[in-house]
Amino acid sequence: MLTREKLFDFIQKQNVTMLASIDEDGFPNVKAMFAPRKIEGDSFYFTTNLSSLRTQQFLENPKSCIYFYKKGRFKYEGVMLAGLMEVLQDDETRHEIWRPGDEMFYRQGETDPDYCVLKFTAIRGRRYCDLKSESFTVEGLA
């Protein structure tokens, strides 16, 4: 049985997140991102450029999903979480999520006007492991 502890333990071990947005024609767009900078409750925080296509899509339509997977030699496990994405630009959040080395992407540092934080809040999900799939609500996990 999937528990909150097992789910988040799996997610925290992955280095890549697949992140999906919805474009202006209603089609999903998927992009690989670094792992979340922070996980708090049911929320996942990522850094990105405010000017990016994905960010602009989230400003128009906050519906999103994130996907984590691990492909082993004999086992594949994947978890998809569906929820809503917020684009945060407040100084407090940007400071909290900032890491040394981010200057490479945001030349003006934490106050770079193109630096923002994406906050994804999960609502429901689906997990695949050992030839079985299961749907769940994040709130309903023990």
Residues 95-133 have pLDDT tens digits of 999 999 999 999 999 999 999 999 999 999 999 998 899
Q: Give pLDDT, residue 103.
A: 93
pLDDT tens-digit map of 44-80: 999 999 999 999 999 999 999 999 999 888 889 999 9
Q: What CA–CA distances, in Å, run from 83 to 99, 104, 119, 123, 137?
A: 26, 30, 10, 5, 10
Please state whether beta strands 38-40 and 43-49 pair in parallel, antiparallel, or not at all (unpaired).
antiparallel
Domains and CATH numbers, the chain: 4-137 (2.30.110.10)
Can you give the pTM of this predicted structure? 0.93
Q: Give pLDDT, residue 130.
A: 86
pLDDT tens-digit map of 2-46: 888 999 999 999 999 999 999 999 999 999 999 999 999 999 999
- Mean pLDDT (whole number) for 85-97: 97
Q: Give pLDDT, residue 74.
A: 80
Q: Which one, of 56, 51, 54, lies nearest residue 114 by Cα?
A: 51
